[in-house]
Amino acid sequence: MTKKSSRAKPLLETINSPADLRRLKEEDLLPLAQEMRTFLIDSVSRTGGHLAAGLGTVELTIALHYAFNTPDDRLVWDVGHQTYPHKILTGRRERMASLRQTGGISGFPRREESEFDAFGVGHSSTSISAALGMAVAAARTGVERQVVAVIGDGALSGGQAFEALNNAGNMDADLLVILNDNDMSISPNVGAMSNYLARILSGKVYTHIREGSKTVLSTIPPVWELAKRVEEHMKGMVMPGTLFEELGFNYFGPVDGHNLHALIRMLRNLRDLKGPRFLHVVTRKGKGYEPAEGDPCVYHGVTPFDPATGKMEKKPAGTTYTKVFGDWLCDMAARDVRLVGVTPAMREGSGLVAFSQRYPNRYFDVGIAEQHALTFAAGLACDGMKPVVAIYSTFLQRGYDQLIHDICLQNLPVLFAIDRAGLVGADGATHAGSFDYSYLRCLPNMTVMAPADENECRRLLTTGFMLNGPASVRYPRGTGPGIAIDPELESFPVGKAEIRRTGKRIALLAFGSMLAPALETGEAFDATVVNMRFVKPLDEEVVEQMARTHEWLITLEENVIAGGAGSAVNEYLMTAGIMTRVVNLGLPDHFIEHGDHRSQLASCGLDVAGIRRTILRHVKADASVVRETA
């Protein structure tokens, strides 16, 4: 008779909240970390998402929830790419199969999703500011709680992070900042020494001696100054903490972010201290998964993949707008030596890899610092360069004052290549480029262009580059309709639209990505279709022509209706005294949740079926007018 297996239930399946985690013995945490990595790789291999960063924070996440009493203690993550282990431990393990899908959980922390998500985030460098606010709120209300901000080394390059550090140190706030540094390595010997020193420096005995020495020695100023300098010198010899000490923080580290027991002891020590504390933790992106360790950049954000080999699913065929831009940038750089490329830490995402390799002396990655990127570009333009700033629509929002004050006000020739315009699918509301028509077209001197296909994108980039003032070309994520690309660097007449189809009664004025569904809709309703191309300057002549020869104007844009391209049409018609019936179609006045891009468009009525429903509802066209298509 065969004996029945008595295999124990996996540890991970017993964890439905951090309270369950804290009931485990410390020796159980290492096997739990292994199970979490296996689960994370398997889960993300099915859904796609951010992988390498989360693999690097498994032990740190376990240690944080084990040492602190979350959610009463506040845990604030920066960006959120590294929070999948956090989601798994906070009651969302079974929902990971729905990650970034319509109706599923977000790829970023969201307050609406879980009480353990103390702060919603998608953009970087916000964690310390938010955590400082929470620490001050706790002090003001008399609530005893710990507040912890976890920020990556990339996000620490953002200016807001340093503004917050400076403010927190000056306020002597009760706050712990953890730097998750995954861009350096520690050899075993140095790592062990750093762990030991950090543990000693964070211990109560050292702290009491240090504080007592301050009291005693401060009565003898020369001796106190000498003691302070000796301490700083000794700490500076073994750890890079001088900057943070000068900002008013007690610095500890660096420590090995994959040594669970050392992390837990360290965090417990720091939990008992007061004031601003800074812990430097070193982790490895992609930890525990060979393909991701070997190329953490590629495995930062992944499509579904085979966990055994790491091979990802093929992306849809066709040329992406990002590649169109990257190719154009190299071609234009060969023609004009004044061209320089600037990006705020988005080399891969914005299509600058080839340019950075071919023209390394003309390529500038300024880090996650959008404000600096724009003013830096303005400075370049002042002295004869022709800067091209490659940036996502949602990130350009972060440099808006610099766009107005430093570029538009001075009418400087800076071209903005704006990627990820419109809805972006799985990344959701934090990354959607929903507002750029609205916030750009109101700026004096700015030219705002919207290509409808790949070839237009290339030509409008050339158009903008040739202008002697600020200009923008915004294009969506992914591939276009598949239009052949002319290798020549030709431009368009500024502010001129193109009538693509001539029909009756209804004129569809399409901006950018909305041309393709407008053409299909135009066939069904025998409508005129105009490819507007320019949001600013608007082709007022063609707008007036359409208004005087059609009963209805329908504007279409993948931007919020409020203040968008349709609003520009409305404003012109009212100013010109032209009374006609206009319907504006675009993104509604609420944030669009993550999910499939097609589903997002459908939910906004911007797919062909939605456009047709709107026309029938407003225009009340009879059946003889509508030519149904198969």
User: Which residue in 74, 398, 459, 477 is the catalytic one?
Assistant: 398
Rg (CA), the chain: 28
Edge to edge, the sheet with strand 552-560 lists 498-501, 528-531, 506-510, 552-560, 581-587
Calpha distance 54→38 (Å, rounded): 12
Catalytic residue among 265, 277, 284, 285: 285
For 412-462, give the DSSP string: ---EEEEESBB--GGG-TTT-B-SHHHHHHTSTT-EEE--SSHHHHHHHHH
Smallest CA-to-CA distance from 285 within 189, 188, 353, 184 is with: 184
Size (the chain), residues: 630
Task: Give the neighbor-by-neighbor strand order of the sheet with 250-256.
Answer: 74-77, 147-152, 175-181, 276-282, 250-256
Give the integer Cα–Cα distance in Å for 156 and 280: 12
Using alpha carbons, list the distances in angstroms from residue 398 to 258, 272, 393, 436, 452. 34, 36, 10, 12, 26
> What is the DSSP pairing of strand 534-536 with strand 498-501?
unpaired
Degrees, nearest 5: CA angle 535-541-546: 90
Distance of CA 236 to the CA centre of its chain: 34
Element (H, E) at 483: none
CA 379 to chain centre: 26
Cβ atoms of residues 524 and 618 within 8 Å: no
Known catalytic residue at 232: no
Does the annotation mark 620 as catalytic? no
The tokens of 395 are what?
Answer: 């990130």
Judge whether 163 counts as a catalytic residue.
no
Q: Which one of the listed residues 277, 362, 370, 386 is annotated catalytic? A: 370
Question: Residue 71, preceding bond cis, omega within 30 degrees?
Answer: yes
**Which sequence positions are flagged as catalytic?**
285, 370, 398
